[in-house]
């Protein structure tokens, strides 16, 4: 009989880095938070209950993928549904310890051709001197993308089981849709400057953007609050995200 669990990719921005929460396993590897789904419990309810141990409010929360390979656990059949969640730093509940840590998360493309891409997915915790780095390859095969990963020799730890697959999917979702679907605003305070939006985008994408072009696009998605703050010794307007704005303006 299969056991159903939920796995959470809880991300935030702290210290100018994208961070993800990982828990230490008994064998010394690191894993995303995972919890069984109780009998008569909805999947979403189980995932929210797990995430609420770490944040008092989640700005973004949705199912990302279900992993159900027969051999994903050596002891018993476990099917897990992964949930991607984003929240600003101020929503986090408590400090973590050596068994539950925030890792800086980066995905950088190293080589790309028409039907093949090689990337580095790196997770680092400087406080405990932990480095986990994978080489991830994406290869076009027919109408789908085949993904493979290899732990690099410079790593001094590893992700448990198939967690690299979940982490890689989460990074692809963020890097591909962080602007177009408004995901970026779930990592920002309710009111923000345009500079803050650009900073978060560049952290996630690992790419620098031309400020004028970036702001032209972002202004299609936000509304001014009429308030200002001092940022970088200059007065800056504050904005709010309006998810309906693109529909109202007919920019789809």
Per-residue pLDDT of the chain (252 residues; tens, 9 = 90+): 788 999 999 999 999 999 999 999 999 999 999 999 998 899 999 999 998 888 887 778 899 999 877 766 667 788 999 999 999 998 887 666 668 899 999 999 999 888 889 999 999 999 999 999 999 999 998 888 888 999 999 999 999 999 999 999 999 999 999 888 889 999 999 999 999 999 999 999 988 999 999 999 899 899 999 999 988 788 999 999 988 876 666 544
For CA atoms 72, 66, 108, 143, the dihedral sign is positive
Token output for 215:
């702001």
**Which has the closest alpha carbon to 13: 221, 209, 174, 143?**
174
Domains detected in the chain: 3-177 (3.90.79.10), 183-249 (1.10.10.10)
Contact criterion met (CB below 8 Å) for 183 and 86: yes
DSSP state of 128: T
């Amino acid at each position: 009989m299969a056991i159903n669990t939920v796995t959470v990719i809880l991300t935030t921005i702290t210290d100018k880095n994208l961070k993800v929460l990982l828990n230490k396993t008994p064998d010394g590897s690191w894993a995303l938070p995972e919890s069984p789904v109780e009998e008569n419990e909805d999947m979403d309810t189980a995932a929210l209950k797990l995430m609420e141990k770490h944040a008092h409010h989640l700005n973004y929360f949705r199912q990302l993928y279900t992993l159900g390979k027969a051999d994903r656990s050596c002891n018993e059949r476990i099917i897990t549904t992964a949930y991607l969640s984003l929240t600003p730093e101020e929503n986090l509940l408590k400090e973590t310890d050596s068994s539950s840590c925030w890792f800086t998360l980066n995905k950088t493309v190293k080589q790309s051709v028409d039907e093949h891409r090689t990337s580095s997915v790196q997770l680092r915790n400087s406080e405990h001197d932990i480095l986990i780095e994978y080489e991830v390859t994406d290869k076009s095969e027919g109408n789908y993308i085949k993904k493979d990963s290899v732990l690099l020799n410079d790593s001094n730890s590893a992700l448990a089981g198939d967690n690299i697959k979940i982490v890689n999917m989460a990074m692809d979702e963020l890097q591909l849709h962080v602007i177009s679907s408004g995901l970026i605003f779930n990592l920002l305070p309710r009111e923000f400057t345009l500079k803050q939006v650009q900073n978060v985008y560049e952290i996630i994408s690992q790419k620098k953007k031309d400020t004028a072009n970036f702001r032209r696009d972002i202004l299609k998605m936000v509304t001014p609050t009429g308030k200002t703050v001092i940022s970088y010794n200059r007065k800056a307007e504050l904005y709010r995200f309006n998810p309906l704005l693109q529909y109202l303006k007919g920019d789809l």
